[in-house]
């Protein structure tokens, strides 16, 4: 019986195994039906499972590969556009890389569309414009080699994720341009102002980055900004104003504008006394400013001097503002007082210049003090065609009547100019004044203008007002300051004694002294 059962089981197993093999090889219908009767429930489950798997793969295939109407592909990876808008300021010949980064490194199949000024230049990795200076890098960055002005503009990168998802980043490439002045003008079209008018000068500029603008007059910087305002115009404000624009790209730009102020002539004379000698030459100079322009001439003894070369020559220099009278081969009658006379429709001005043979003392140039030696060093110059034989220096305290007179040493001249330096020693505190003159073969010069100066002890006097201290006392004070605060009581009080005991001992000594004094009395 046991052998029968085992045999049946073997037969059933063989039939089951070979039955499935027949199914796979498309066996006859009868054998297939028999297997389905025996294993129908299992075969039905296998068939459903296979069908589920086929349906799954079909759906995945459609999801991954079926293109959308707009050419984008669906992706199961969530993407974010990481790149932010940037502005690049560059020059022709430079290379720019415009980023378009996404949040997932696995999203390699995302389609980017690059556009310039809204015109597509890249669809995916296809160079639509076929420009050799555009290159799409593997990470989606667009590299642009700037060849000409057309390569500057606005570039945008768009991700084609779906019909509704199209994130975009926009970059700008702006061309660096050097500073340029496009207009320079004043609030008065004629650039002519009356005294106390308000004048505003404007300098309009272009360039990227934006240029900085500065204003200059006679090489002196006045202000920064595209506008310069003078609240109340005076004759001194007339002249050329220069606008200077710079953005560090190329050469700075600069232009100037002249403004004019209506006023009567103003005369400036550098040397009111001019030294020369017989058979030498002399130049007399006066600078005249006026608007409208002034008429200028030189006069001597009330008579107008006319050009009579080679003896007399009249010149105009520095935009006709400098008026020069040149006299050659001087004789005795050429020395004396000359007048520079200027006039226009608004008034007249006159300034005198003396031509002399005696020395001319120029202004004092230095006033040096030496606190350690209590000395003052005075220095000045003297002009003389003839050799100097003597110098004289006078000084006194301000408010005093009498002068103290000194004769400084005479040194050699350089180009008819003598440099005199003298030291006044041990001056008392206070304010002083000084003057000087010199002598040559034609006599003494006039005294120079009186010049004030300060005695060096004026500073030392402050020290004398401070209370004096005994040197030993000072040393004690200084040494005590070197002792840290927490240790000072330990240093000053003997070991083993307290502060209170020290105070008690001091009181006892004072009592003993008072007793002794009483007994003596």
Which 8-state DSSP code applies to residue 249? S
| 99 and 49 belong to one structural domain | no
Same domain, 377 and 446: yes
CATH (domain of 184):
2.60.40.10
Residue 209, preceding peptide bond in cis (omega within 30° of 0): yes
Residue 5 lies in a domain: no
Coil, strand or helix at 138? coil
Greatest alpha-carbon span in the chain = 173
The whole-angstrom separation of Cα 2 and Cα 17 is 23
Asked if residue 438 lies in contact with residue 360, where contact means CB atoms within 8 angstroms, the answer is no
Q: Is residue 104 part of a domain?
A: yes
In this structure, the answer to whether residues 370 and 449 fall within a common structural domain is yes
Do 155 and 92 belong together in one domain?
A: yes
What is the distance between the alpha carbons of residues 354 and 337, in angstroms, rounded to a whole number?
4
In a domain, 236, yes or no: yes
pLDDT attached to residue 478: 34
Spatial distance between the Cα atoms of 323 and 289, rounded to a whole number of angstroms: 11
Task: For residues 360 and 386, give the distance between their C-alpha atoms in angstroms, rounded to a whole number.
Answer: 11
Q: Is residue 520 part of a domain?
A: no
Q: Are 250 and 183 in contact (CB under 8 A)?
A: no
CA distance 121 to 118: 9
Together in a domain, 270 and 245: no
Q: Report the C-alpha gap between 134 and 147 in whole angstroms.
A: 10
How far is residue 158's CA from residue 6's CA, in Å, rounded to a whole number?
A: 74
Domain end call among 175, 201, 225:
175
User: Do 154 and 184 fall within a single domain?
Assistant: no
Q: What is the mean pLDDT of each run of 10 residues along the chain (521 residues)?
A: 47 45 42 45 44 42 41 56 93 94 72 93 89 91 94 94 89 94 94 95 95 95 96 94 95 95 94 95 95 95 92 92 95 96 96 96 75 81 95 94 94 93 86 94 94 68 40 35 33 34 46 49 46
What is the structure's pLDDT at 110? 81
Tell me: do 125 and 107 sit in the same domain: yes
- Residues 33 and 101 reside in one and the same domain: no
What is the β-pairing status of strands 253-261 and 192-193? parallel
Residues 168, 107 share a domain: yes
Query: Which domain-ending residue is among 5, 31, 64?
Result: 64
**Cβ burial 323-356 (10 Å sphere, 16+ → b, else e):** bbbbbeebeeebbeebbbbbbbeeeebebebbbb
Same domain, 405 and 439: yes
Residue 241 inside a domain? The answer is: yes
Instruction: Write down the pLDDT at residue 292.
Output: 94
How many structural domains compose the chain? Answer: 5
Q: In this structure, is residue 29 part of a structural domain?
A: yes
Residue 220 maps to a domain: yes
Range of the domain at 24: 15-64
Residue 380 near residue 448 (C-beta atoms within 8 A): yes
d(CA 363, CA 450): 9
Residues 202 and 231 in one domain: yes
Please give the Cα distance from 304 to 295 (Å, whole number).
13
Whether 56 and 99 share a structural domain: no
CA dist 53 to 42, 61, 74, Å? 17, 12, 22
**Where among 460, 477, 494 does a domain terminate?**
460
Please report the DSSP string for 312-380 in residue order: EEEEEETTTTEEEEEE-S--GGG-EEEEEEEEETTEEEEEEEEEESS-EEEEEEEEEEETTTTEEEEEE
The pLDDT, as a whole number, for residue 372 is 65
Residue 408 lies in a domain: yes
């Amino acid at each position: 019986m046991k052998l029968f059962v085992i045999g049946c089981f073997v037969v059933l197993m063989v039939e089951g195994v070979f039955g499935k093999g027949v199914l796979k090889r498309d066996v006859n219908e009868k054998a297939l039906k028999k297997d389905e009767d025996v294993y129908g429930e299992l075969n039905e489950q296998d068939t459903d499972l296979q069908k589920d798997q086929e349906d799954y793969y079909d759906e995945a295939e459609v999801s991954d590969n079926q293109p959308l109407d707009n050419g984008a592909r669906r992706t199961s990876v969530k993407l974010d556009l990481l790149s932010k808008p940037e502005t690049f300021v560059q020059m022709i010949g430079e290379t720019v890389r415009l980023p378009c980064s996404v949040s997932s490194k696995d999203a390699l199949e995302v389609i980017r569309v690059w556009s310039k000024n809204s015109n597509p230049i890249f669809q995916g990795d296809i160079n639509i414009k076929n420009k050799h200076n555009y290159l799409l890098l593997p990470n989606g960055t667009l590299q642009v080699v700037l060849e000409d002005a057309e390569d500057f503009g606005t570039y945008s990168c768009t991700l084609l994720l779906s019909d509704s998802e199209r994130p975009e980043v926009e970059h700008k490439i702006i061309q660096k341009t050097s500073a340029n002045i496009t207009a320079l003008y004043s609030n008065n079209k004629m650039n002519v102002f009356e005294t106390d008018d308000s004048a505003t000068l404007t300098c309009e500029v272009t360039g990227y980055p934006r240029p900085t603008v500065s204003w200059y007059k006679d090489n002196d910087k006045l202000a920064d900004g595209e506008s310069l305002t003078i609240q109340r115009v005076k004759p001194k404000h007339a002249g050329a104003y220069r606008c200077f624009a710079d953005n560090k790209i190329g050469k700075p730009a600069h232009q100037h504008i002249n403004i004019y102020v209506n006023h009567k002539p103003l005369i400036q004379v550098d040397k009111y006394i001019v030294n020369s000698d017989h058979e030498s030459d002399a130049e007399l100079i006066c600078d005249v400013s006026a608007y409208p322009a002034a008429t200028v001439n030189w006069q001597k003894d009330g008579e107008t001097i006319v050009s009579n070369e080679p003896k007399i020559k009249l010149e105009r220099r520095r935009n006709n503002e400098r008026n020069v009278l040149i006299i050659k081969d001087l004789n005795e009658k050429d020395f004396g007082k000359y007048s520079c006379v200027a006039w226009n429709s608004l008034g007249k001005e006159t300034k005198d210049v003396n031509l002399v043979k005696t020395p001319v003392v120029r202004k004092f140039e230095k006033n040096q003090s030496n606190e350690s030696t209590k000395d003052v060093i005075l220095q000045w110059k003297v002009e003389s065609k003839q050799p100097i034989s003597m110098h004289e220096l006078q000084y006194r305290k301000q408010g005093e009547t009498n002068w103290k007179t000194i004769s400084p040493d005479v040194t050699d001249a350089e180009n008819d100019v003598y440099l005199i330096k003298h030291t006044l020693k041990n001056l008392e505190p206070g304010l002083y004044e000084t003057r000087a003159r010199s002598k040559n073969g034609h006599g003494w010069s006039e005294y120079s203008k009186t010049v004030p100066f300060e005695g060096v002890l004026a500073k030392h006097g402050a020290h004398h007002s401070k209370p004096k201290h005994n040197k030993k006392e000072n040393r004690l004070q200084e040494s005590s300051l070197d002792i840290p605060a927490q240790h000072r009581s330990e240093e000053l009080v003997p070991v083993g004694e307290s502060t209170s005991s020290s105070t008690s001992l001091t009181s006892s000594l004072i009592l003993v002294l008072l007793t002794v004094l009483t007994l003596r009395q």
